[in-house]
Structure 1
Amino acid sequence: MASETTKVIAGIDTHADTHHVAIINEYGKPLADREFLAVGSGYRKILEFITGYGTVSAVGVEGTGTYGAELTRTLRGEGLTVLEVNRPNRAARRLKGKSDPLDAYQAAQSVLDGRSQSIPKAKDGPVECLRILRAGRASALKARTAAINQIKGLLVSAPDKLRAKYRSLGTPAMITALQRTRPSGHTADPEYVTLLTLKALAARCQSLAAEIAAADAALQEIVDTYAPMLCDLPGVGTEVASQLLVTVGDNPERLATEAQFASLVGVAPVPASSGKTTRHRLSRGGDRNANHALYQVVLVRMASCPRTKDYVNKRTNEGKSKREIMRCLKRYAAREIYLQITNPQPAPNNTDLRPLRTKLGITITTAASQLGQWPSIISRLERGLVRNDTLATRYRQWLAEQTAEIPSRVTA
């Protein structure tokens, strides 16, 4: 064993049943390696093994979100610095071969060289609950879609009596009608067996719909408790908010800057210049699910946010394509969302708008017409169901102008 003052770095190659641990000193010299069982007692032995060779500077772990998740929690719980290690370099594997000890040593070496600096997600709080709920919900959505497609596929070749009765219905009405049927007949009758199968598939669809609704309610409850102000941002609902929170993890402090968050969600601009051409392109890295969530935010804002519409018109006149404009908008949205996650700011209070409008005797239709909006949007803004700071400011200024005109009307 080495002295207590010796600084060591550990690398761990994780698997389903066993973990292989390797230790090197601060100069990269291999000290020891050993295999342990991937169970609670094995984790304690790993801790004793790596701390027995000196002061542990850091531990590089492969698969911190899968096979190494519980080990990561154990090591972090003991105050050790755990860094996430990507899979070994393929070129190095071709030259030096592959084995568990080699992978473990390479994990330790990547930490020493500074190639592995990512702090893994904590996976011990409400965001982990969001991730689990989303996984179950995604599975239920996929199964429901498959069941609906099977129903429609069976109706294509079903007897004309069934096909004529159900194919003209919309999907929800068709599923409800099929679930309420009472098939009768013999198992050798194709019409009876078809209807029996359609009823079973419809019942499955309704069961999965109830499962999805329960998951949505749980997601909403967690988001409202953990990050209630995130949904105050324009275009951000429960689905988008939960996905972005899952991408960040239970320890958002691991992202030091909003530029790191932009890179994580795949909206950091990537240089694509050549010769006399200077431009940037869309990033193809990062979490693609989070990138899709930002895409949904941008679509909503392009359709309903005046500030975003003005920006789109401005960049279009400059010759930018829609794809380039959306890349820029996703970058701006990522900056705003990162600031809201790390430093939550409540939405402005708009509860004063409706009482003031009512006091002035102005109908919501008149206000909507003056502001160039649908009455439903003004109503949702007054009730705090939608956030649009620019529209709220314009609305409040217009009401103030109407208030100022009242004395002049009375005098006249």
Structure 2
Amino acid sequence: MAEELPKVIVGVDTHADTHHVAVVTEYGKPIADQKFAATAAGYSKLLGFITGHGTVSAVGVEGTGSYGAELSRVLARKELKVFEVNRPNRQQRRIRGKSDPLDAYQAAQSVLAERGISTPKSKDGPVECLRVLRTARASAMKARTIAINQIRSLLVSAPETIRSKYRGLATTAMITALARSRPSGHPADTEYITALTLKTLALRYQSLRSEIAATDELLQEILDSYAPLLTELTGVGVEVATQLLVTVGDNPERINNEAQQDQPSQTQQRR
């Protein structure tokens, strides 16, 4: 009769290029720890390492939304239970200093004690697509604002021959006029360089505006397929709807789980 493998808990301290993994028994006794590359080959070796010490009950991963995102997906595909673990206790760090093995073991102990853990966002579905698109859109919006502010600032101090052409124009009309302008002159001519720079900024503004519009179309397409009823609610447009979905994640059941973990028990409430 084959001997049953012991149950183990795993903790992972994640970094950009490497992950440090620690394995403990179901009673919290350290078994082994090792560092692995944050690559496909490294993940494969990591899986072999943790499963080689027993049946993995759960894995606590730091930074499931950043450095540990891909590892979390790999572990989930192997049907392993993955938890997001809060960063290690700062007091411990001050006393003992930064230590990858210590952080990995603390991650495992947190899972074992069910302390400072939560269900991570799966980050592998339509909502993750929304998050990625929103990230690009936010930077484009910021860049567009910078461009129009720079245009207005330059116009304030520009020669009157330039200012007079665009005085009183609304933003859209001004941008269109600047983009269609054909500055000419000498590189050392202030009026020419100012006009040329204004045209460049206007073209940048138009490009960013087109990028934002294209991104909004993609966001709307995903919403129409994934949550068509959401934008029908009063006051809920693409911006609000996508933010709500990104907050919830691709696995909305995690919200209920986290609420249960954060809510004190009835016994604690009576105390």
TM-score (norm 1): 0.61
* In structure 1, distance between residues paired with 2:98 and 2:27: 23
CA contact (8 A) 1:230 1:236 kept: yes
2:82/2:120 contact within 8 Å kept: yes
TM-aligned CA distance change 1:31 to 1:185, over 3 Å? same
Separation in structure 1 between the aligned mates of residue 167 and residue 17 of structure 2, nearest angstrom: 51
Amino acid at match of 1:141: M
The residue number in structure 2 matching 1:26 is 26
Alignment-derived partner of residue 327 in structure 1: none
Q: Which residue of 1 aligns with 2:255?
A: 255
Q: What residue is the counterpart of 1:140 in the other structure?
A: 140
Identify the residue that residue 164 of structure 1 maps to in structure 2. 164
Moved beyond 2 Å, runs of 4+: none
Residue 111 of structure 2 corresponds to residue 122 of structure 1: no
SS, match of residue 16 in structure 2: coil
Offset at residue 80 of structure 1 (A): 0.3
1:50 corresponding residue in structure 2: 50
Does the alignment pair 1:88 with 2:88?
Answer: yes
Secondary structure class of the residue paired with 2:256: coil
1:68 and 1:225 map into 2 onto residues whose CA distance is 29
| Distance in 2 separating the partners of 1:210 and 1:192 | 27
Q: Deviations over 1:287-337 (max 9, x none)?
A: xxxxxxxxxxxxxxxxxxxxxxxxxxxxxxxxxxxxxxxxxxxxxxxxxxx
3-state SS of 1:11 partner: strand
The answer for the alignment partner of 1:271 in structure 2 is none
Residue of structure 1 equivalent to 2:235: 235
Is contact 2:86-2:117 (8 Å) kept?
no
Structure whose CA Rg is larger: 1
Aligned-partner SS, 2:58? strand
Q: Residues of 2 paired with 1:52 and 1:33: CA distance? A: 12
Where 2:117 maps in the other structure, the secondary structure is: coil
2:216 aligns to what SS in structure 1?
A: helix
Does the 8 Å CA contact 1:18/1:36 hold for their aligned counterparts?
A: yes
Report 1:273-312 matches (<5 A).
Answer: none
Give the aligned residue type for 1:243: Q
SS of 1:255's equivalent in the other structure is helix
**Are residue 218 (structure 1) and residue 206 (structure 2) matched?**
no
* Structure 2 residue aligned with 1:36: 36
Residues 72-87 of structure 1: matches in 2 within 5 Å? 72-87=72-87
Aligned CA-pair RMSD: 1.6
1:383-394 to 2 correspondence within 5 Å?
A: none
Instruction: Give distance in 2, aligned partners of 1:27 and 1:173.
Output: 70
Q: Deviations over 1:11-54 (max 9, x none)?
A: 00111111100011111111000001110011011111111111
Structure number with higher relative contact order (C-alpha < 8 Å, ≥ 6 residues apart): 2
CA distance in 1, matches of 2:188, 2:97: 61
Q: Is the 8 A contact 1:83 1:116 kept in 2?
A: no
Structure 2: which amino acid aligns with 1:74?
Answer: V
Q: Distance in 2 between matches of 1:35 and 1:217?
A: 43
Deviations 1:232-270 (A, max 9, x none): 22211111010110111111111227x939x9xxxxxxx
Contact 2:130 / 2:246 at 8 angstroms: preserved in 1? yes
Q: Which runs of 5+ in 1 are unaligned?
A: 264-412
**In structure 2, distance between residues paired with 1:145 and 1:89:** 40
Distance 2:83 2:90 in 1: 20
Deviations 1:207-255 (A, max 9, x none): 0000000000100010011000111222111110101101111111112
**Given residue 202 of structure 2, which amino acid in structure 1 is its aligned partner?**
A
Structure having the larger proportion of residues in strand: 2
Q: How far 1:8 moved relative to its partner?
A: 0.8
- The question of whether the paired residues in 2 share the 8 Å contact of 1:60 and 1:116 is answered with no
2:265 counterpart residue number: none
How many residues align? The count is 259
| Cα pair 1:4 1:53 within 8 Å, conserved | no
Identity across aligned pairs (percent)?
69
Q: CA deviation at 1:75?
A: 0.3
In 2, Cα distance between equivalents of 1:84 and 1:167: 55
Structure 2 residue aligned with 1:194: 194
CA distance in 1, matches of 2:173, 2:247: 37
Q: Residue 110 of structure 2 aligns with which residue?
A: 110
Q: CA deviation at 1:73?
A: 0.5
